[in-house]
Amino acid sequence: MTNKLHRLPIATRIRNNFLAGLIICAPIAITLWLTWSIVRWADSWVKPYIPARYDPDSYLNFAVPGSGLIIAMIFITIIGFLGKNLIGRGIVQFGESLVHRVPLVRSIYKSVKQIFESVLKEQNNSFKKVGLIEYPSPGLWALVFIATDAKGEIATKFNAMGHDMVSVFLPPTPVPTAGFLIFVPREKIVVLDMSPEDAAKLLISGGLVAPDELASRAAKEKRSRKQLRAPAET
């Protein structure tokens, strides 16, 4: 084995070392770049509205990156705390009643609010399971995120036909941020043990990064234990 390594051309060894270094450095560089971009974006939105006496940059000879993001997080947390009490809920409801009187704005507000409530609600089970469905034709399988049971008029129509339907999100590769909402019969979904995070890695990598089976089972057991603890905590 050692002799074979010594027989490799210098150019091949340099290329292999470069690729190994790229695997190490590229994720770090991209992560730092994305983090820095988010911090700068938040600062550009928040800092112009901060009074000078509360802005750390006014007391220092250099800009403090991330101060706008920290202030925004503190402000949002305070708003959430105030919105939970009786007076805060009354103010929020009064503000929403004003918004609901504006024809175009109320539709946008309701849609955006519903999306955030569905994604961020702690007890929501949406997109916590991953499965396979036959798509786009029988014999071909696509990875999907299982959303929830069909609801409202859609559920009523399907129930009348004797179908138990589930809504799933079918994302594309390699950017799983947009996709298709598909209603699939429950019995036609092959539920997987892998976590949504592992499924996202599989999609982004184009199938190159496959989750380990043992890790998927461990993730499933962890989710099961968490679900069992939830009723006791409530």
Per-residue pLDDT tens for 6-63?
567 888 888 888 888 888 898 899 989 988 998 888 888 888 887 777 777 777 777 7
Q: How many CA atoms lie within 13 A of 71 on its CB side?
A: 18
Q: Rounded to two decimals, what is the model's pTM?
A: 0.51
Type of residue at 156: T
With tokens 């802005």, the residue in question is 55
Query: What is the average per-residue pLDDT within 192-220?
Result: 76
Interval 63-73: pLDDT, tens: 778 878 888 88
**What sign does the CA torsion over 186, 189, 194, 197 have?**
negative
Per domain, the residue ranges of the chain are: 129-233
Dist CA 92 CA 104 (whole Å): 19
Write out the DSSP string of 10-60: HHHHHHHHHHHHHHHHHHHHHHHHHHHHHHHHHHHHHGGGS-GGG-GGGTS
pLDDT at 227 over 60: no
Distances (CA, A) of 215 to 110, 207, 218: 39, 17, 5
